[in-house]
Chains A and B, each alone.
Chain A
Amino acid sequence: MIDLHGYGPRLAEGALITIELAVLSLVLAILLGLATASAKMSRNWVLHRVATLYTTIIRGVPDLVLMMLLFFGGQIGINMITDMLYDRFGVDIFINVNEFIAGVVTIGLIFGAYMGETFRGAFMAVDAGQIEAGRAYGMNHWLVFRRIRFPQMMRHAIPGLSNNWMVLLKTTALVSVIGLTDMVRVASEASKATREPFTFMIIVAVIYLLIASLSEWGFARLQKRYDVGYGEAD
């Protein structure tokens, strides 16, 4: 049996944080991605510009730099606002940027930009006649989106979604720089303390792999569900 030198429970906690962080970031990224895709496809040029600026910045700046900018910059920004509230109105509050939330927001923001591209491509791949039939039968925008556009788009989006998720999962390892004790950080502390880096890093690698293969299975099932009705012979 592998000797974890008592780090087992902390490692498990770290793994849980990694998973929670990844899943919540994914949810945020999907929402942002849908919004970005809609903005880029809209005829409103302000929305279009904002969305383009967002994706350009995110794609051009390294994730690690973005993370530090948002975390430390975010704290400074919030402090400025609370200071102003104190000076002007005598309201005394102190908000500490929570590392976990900062992590979710940063990773969500980064991957929202990538998801935006994925969704945009997927939305454009939906046959216009399908949408038109919805409109012709009295569906409003929301109904067309919910009943036709979204389910048909998903078929095209899942490969990209799955890809982004795999990268996102690995990106969570970066959050240790803002002080979050995810499993990578626990493992690196344990490695230093016990001088057995190999043991702990192998465990971390295996856990990542496990999550990745599980997700791959999940995405394959999802793909199957959204492929229903397409191109199968009778």
Chain B
Amino acid sequence: MADTPIPLEVRNIKKRFGDTEVLKGLSLTAQKGDVITLIGASGSGKSTFLRCMNLLEQPDEGELVVHGEQILFKETSKGREPADWKQVVRMRAKLSMVFQGFNLWAHMTLLENVIEAPVHVLGKPKKEAIAHARELLERVGLSARADAYPAQMSGGQQQRGAIARALAMDPEVMLFDEPTSALDPELVGDVLKVMRDLAAEGRTMIVVTHEMAFARDVSSQVIYLHEGRVEEAGAPADVLENPRSERLKQFLAPKH
């Protein structure tokens, strides 16, 4: 459909920390329903790239277009900054992030976590937000835990709760930063299952992960990053099954 805006377009993002250039010009287009997985060795810039997408990090160069809206930047003495923080707040509300360390708000119950941003950022009526939150908790299998605090839940439950919190925003795009890396192996499956369901229902997702089976089965596109550059990108069948670069072959080789 020509008239529905593209959920997220990222063009030529560059980012340096001090003297080291961590992202050396990265681009990506997430069409509606795309699941893009970012893979790469630790330190290759996956998290930084993801964090640039919702401006938790400020890219030094490059463009962001969220749901057709171009993000405006201005040059300051301290470097480039968003020109309009209201716009940033608005775009962040469209991109929900799921963190490696869950980051559910510790002083709120699970239900309170899920309704927090819809009520206070989007201005949704509380009653409506609660009803929606209960549906979402049901979906991620946590109905019984609505009144629990994060510290009372397992890592897997917290991460599924964090996914419910992300869904509550009705996001254009969901950003996942290694959502299963901090979990005990036996808890990973539940979280991946929820993510597979989301992909199946046509959610637009950008996922940093080391779960190759997930990447292979679910992605529309796989991007392999090496030292802040795209080394290889394409359909999972090409990138994961027939890697061209030596480095990617090494990276994918089973480690013993």
Contacts and interface: CB of A to CB of B under 8 A. Distances in A.
Range, interface on chain A: 20 to 34
Contact of B148 (A138, A155, A234): A234
B90 interface: yes
A171 to B, nearest CB: 32
A136 interface: yes
A226 B85 CA distance: 31
Interface of B: 54, 56, 85, 89-90, 92-93, 96-97, 99, 101, 103-109, 116-117, 120-122, 148-153, 165, 169
Given A136-B97, A137-B121, A147-B120, A231 B107 contact: no
Nearest to A139: B121
A138 B149 contact: no
B105 A130 contact: yes
Interface of A: 127, 129-130, 132-140, 143, 147-148, 151-152, 155, 226, 228-234
Nearest to B112: A229
A130 B85 contact: no
A140 B89 contact: yes
Given A129-B101, A129-B103, A140-B85, A135 B92 contact: yes
A139 B169 CA distance: 12
Contacts of B151: 229-232
Interface-central residue, A136, A151, A230, by most chain B CB under 10 Å: A136
7 nearest A-B pairs in the assembled complex, by CB-CB distance? A138-B93, A229-B149, A137-B117, A133-B103, A138-B92, A234-B152, A129-B103
A147 B103 contact: no
Nearest to B108: A229
